[in-house]
Amino acid sequence: MSDKGLAVVTGAGSGIGRAIARRLAEDGFAVAATDVNEAAAKETAADIISRGGRAEAFVLDVTDRGSIERALEQALARFGELKVWVSNAGVSTMNHFIDLTEEEWDFNLNVNAKGVFLCGQVAARQFIRQGNGGKIIHTASLAGKRGAVPFLAHYVASKFAVVGLTQAMAYELAKHRITVNAVCPGYVATPMQERELAWEAKLRETTPDKVVELMLGETPLRRLETPEDVARVVSFLASEDADFITGESIAVNGGVYMD
Ligand SMILES: NC(=O)c1ccc[n+]([C@@H]2O[C@H](COP(=O)([O-])OP(=O)(O)OC[C@H]3O[C@@H](n4cnc5c(N)ncnc54)[C@H](O)[C@@H]3O)[C@@H](O)[C@H]2O)c1
């Protein structure tokens, strides 16, 4: 297996992050599978190793700078130079805008927006110390480009922040040969989606199956998205083929929203 250096993935214990970690390991990166949930991160690392890849699990809470710095330090000691940082961790809750609580707002904005800021700063400082450029990739969302999604005003605000930050970071970090891009998934079958289906069904007074029908009805390619659909695009953004792309937030959504 080729040695492309270290790739750190946040939120790698589940769903999209796990698929990204697996794919980057297949691409030849040594993967730091990080998550606030240590057991889940360990499962991902074990899965990669069982497929012949290189990985280790690290606890990393994206809302805690000290935790991010510690995980990076340990990953560097284990695998050497940082090449790719994927800020993927995210959370959601659902509510009508008029019923949204400050707790929901803070939870979503802290993990989804502040987490991307903190991780981006720690990663960028490391890339600058190394002096060889680097790649930062964010998992934003369809909800980072379109506000017309149900019951997710706070989440929408957090993901628009990610898309904005992607451009601002790309602009400032370009002189260090650091590229910053994002992927914007649509309706991806993950544990987050399972939770959202139950919440949305309750808020709409319908069933989770009917909510899936609504999602499929909005999707020209007529199926739910898989975590691997997202991971393939992250793999491209992490590769040399994407060397001259920066500041982009790429829609990966089966055509739900085209821009
Ligand atoms: N599932 C979708 O339909 C969808 C669509 C668009 C965007 N996204 C985004 O994709 C990313 C991954 O979502 P998913 O569907 O795989 O969700 P998921 O809930 O399956 O996985 C998220 C992972 O992030 C971890 N996490 C949560 N808070 C954390 C923190 N503070 N620090 C570190 N890790 C933390 C969780 O432990 C979990 O392992 C998120 O940013 C999400 O907003 C998901």
Q: Which residue in 161, 168, 165, 166 sits closest to 180, CA to CA?
A: 166
Angle CA 181–8–138, to nearest 5: 25
Q: Give distance in angstroms: CA of 88 to centre of ligand 1.
A: 7
pLDDT at 164 over 80: yes
Q: Which ligand 1 atom is the nearest neighbour of the CA of 155? A: 43
pLDDT at 18 over 70: yes
| Model confidence pLDDT, tens digit, residues 112-138 | 999 999 999 999 999 999 999 999 999
Q: How far apart are CA 67 and CA 122, in angstroms?
A: 11
Q: Which ligand 1 atom is the nearest neighbour of the CA of 89? A: 24
pLDDT-derived band of residue 2, with 50, 70 and 90 as boundaries?
confident
Instruction: Identify the active-site residue in 155, 171, 187, 257.
Output: 155
**What mean pLDDT value characterizes the chain?**
98
Mean pLDDT across 183-187: 98
Q: How far apart are CA 166 and CA 249, in angstroms?
A: 7
Q: Give distance in angstroms: CA of 82 to centre of ligand 1.
A: 22
Probe target for ligand 1 pocket from 9, 16, 44, with the most ligand atoms within 8 Å of CB: 16
Nearest CA to ligand 1 atom 17: 192
Q: Which ligand 1 atom is the nearest neighbour of the CA of 11? A: 24
User: Residue 80 — left, alpha, or beta (φ > 0 → left; ψ -120 to 50 → alpha)?
Assistant: left
| Model confidence pLDDT, tens digit, residues 38-88 | 999 999 999 999 999 999 999 999 999 999 999 999 999 999 999 999 999
**Can you say how many angstroms the Cα of residue 104 is from the centroid of all Cα atoms in its chain?**
20
DSSP string, 69-102: HHHHHHHHHHH-SEEEEEE---------GGG--H
The domains found in the chain, sorted by start residue, are: 6-188+226-252 (3.40.50.720)
| Ligand 1 pocket residue status of 61, Cβ below 6 Å | yes
Q: Which pLDDT does position 1 carry in this prediction?
A: 60
Angle CA 249–252–257, to nearest 5: 85
Contact between residue 218 and residue 179 where contact means Cβ atoms under 8 Å apart: no
Q: Which ligand 1 atom is the nearest neighbour of the CA of 193? A: 1
Q: Give distance in angstroms: CA of 117 to centre of ligand 1.
A: 16
Does residue 187 have an active-site annotation? no
Q: How far apart are CA 51 and CA 140, in angstroms?
A: 28
